[in-house]
A and B are shown apart, each in its own frame.
Chain A
């Protein structure tokens, strides 16, 4: 069947079987291989993309369910030659080794910033009744909020640092 998918702000047409996941549609049909296929069973987070503003796993999403939705992948994150602040932070902090999980890590972190700005709690938030403050997120909070993205190289320490730097730059922007 032919699907109309809106990927990184561009309307694309994809001829896919009902069984094709969003992950395979992006990589194989639309030639956007930045989204990575790790476990293909919803465990590792390498396939993380942003759909309608929320981070989701493209390997457990059927492409046919995505018609008309706003899909963002790592290819659409930078604007012209300007990297997204999270991308810059990953470079500055050396937050990767082999790089395979990095697109998923970065998209996850981009959404983490939005969630932190909205003040929503996580599993490790002391009191879910209180809003969290983005700039005050602890390492424990960042680790919990990034726990859906595995890194086999074990670059976690620098990933936490990169996310922390991103959070600080975001909250500085937000200051009046």
Chain B
């Protein structure tokens, strides 16, 4: 690992200031992404500003919302009784990711900021526009079985690996940040991550030195009838091939409104408004679910090794919707 300087931040404001004034500094919290990627030379920060000890680790519950501190650990959030009750999809998504050890380390903000698992991104000898702008993309014609079919470009087809984010995006979560000049921003989850376009190295709307302080998930009745279904090569401890986060607001058999999010197949945590529009106002039947799934994947682009994901994702959506419809709520 390359040498770096380390400082333990005294406050969120100090941390934002410290990173903002040094172009090659970055925040450190749980370390599960950064330490891993520094060991293999993919990330080369010269300064780590440790925000992991800041008092941003509370889960504050009110009738209107759940406010989740940036440093809340993934396991802490997944196990919280109110989260399990109001947003089963969020708890399920978190529990489906990684292992207890990693979930005990990884923070909510770190989960949002985690990097792709694309093998070419992780190999400094490969071409990767996300790691080094303009270097090319070895995944386009390489072994791309795990790669995205939605939100891709000719510059990058790397999959966003998070499970939690797929649940967050259908729950209308809002990410709150603090900048070095002490201004604050509230960014809807769906707008936070960027599709790659010509600049896959710019992954989010965050500015350099802008620190995530907390995430707010609004309480809503639709959250109670929700579910996360993850399909993968192993039963545990594996990233998604496809996943679906869904929620239904039912009036008997009729769908008042629906939420559909997709993981494992897109370059960012994916919300399918197209599928939601197909479902709204219809009866909750297999035929309607299939039409919604077709709408969700209408723009998908498959490549040599990942074409199977398009059909698999459709089946994942249909299964997730069927399970969710039949949940005892």
What is the interface of chain A, defined by CB distance below 8 A to chain B? 17-19, 21, 40-42, 45, 48, 54-57, 60-62, 64-65, 67, 108, 111-112, 115, 118, 120-123, 125, 127-129, 143-145, 147-148
Task: Identify 24 residue pairs between A and B in the complex whose beta-carbon atoms are under 8 Å apart, listed by A's number.
Answer: A17-B3, A18-B4, A19-B4, A40-B39, A41-B39, A54-B73, A55-B100, A57-B105, A60-B31, A60-B105, A61-B31, A61-B35, A62-B31, A65-B28, A65-B31, A65-B50, A65-B53, A118-B79, A121-B79, A123-B95, A125-B95, A128-B84, A128-B91, A129-B88
Q: Shortest distance in angstroms between B300's beta carbon and chain A's nearest beta carbon?
A: 27
Assembly CA distance A122 to B84 (angstroms): 11
Residue positions of B touching A, CB distance < 8 A: 1, 3-6, 8, 28, 31-32, 35-36, 39-40, 48, 50, 52-53, 73, 75, 78-79, 84-85, 88, 91-92, 95-96, 98-102, 104-105, 235-237
Q: Decide if B100 touches A145 in the complex (CB within 8 Å).
A: yes
In the complex, how many angstroms separate the beta carbon of B308 from the nearest chain A beta carbon? 24
Checking A48, A62, A122 against B35 with a beta-carbon cut-off of 8 angstroms, the contacting residue is: A62
Asked if residues B236 and A144 are in contact (CB atoms below 8 Å), the reply is: yes
Whether A56 touches B101, Cβ cut-off 8 Å, given contacts A65-B52, A123-B95, A147-B237, is: yes
Contact at B104–A55, with CB atoms within 8 Å?
A: yes
- Cβ contact within 8 Å between B3 and A18: yes
Q: Which residues of A contact B50 (CB under 8 A)?
A: 64-65
Kindly identify which residue among A21, A128, A143 contacts B236, using a CB–CB cutoff of 8 Å: A143
A143 to B235, CA, bound (A): 10
Let me know if A61 and B105 touch, CB within 8 A. Answer: yes
What is the CB-to-nearest-CB distance from A45 to chain B, in angstroms, rounded to a whole number? 6
The CA-CA distance from A121 to B73 in the complex, in Å, is 15
CB distance from B86 to the nearest CB of A (A): 10
Nearest B residue to A40 via CB reads B39
The interface residues of chain A lying within 8 Å CB-to-CB of B28 are: 62, 65
Q: Closest Cβ of chain B: how far from A46's Cβ, in Å?
A: 11
Q: How far is the CA of A64 from the CA of B35 in the complex (A)?
A: 12
- List the A side residues contacting B3 at CB < 8 Å: 17-19
Q: Is the CB of B4 within 8 A of A45?
A: no
CB within 8 Å for A148 and B237 given contacts A42-B102, A62-B6: yes
Whether A108 contacts B1 in the complex (CB less than 8 A), given A61-B105, A144-B236, comes out as no
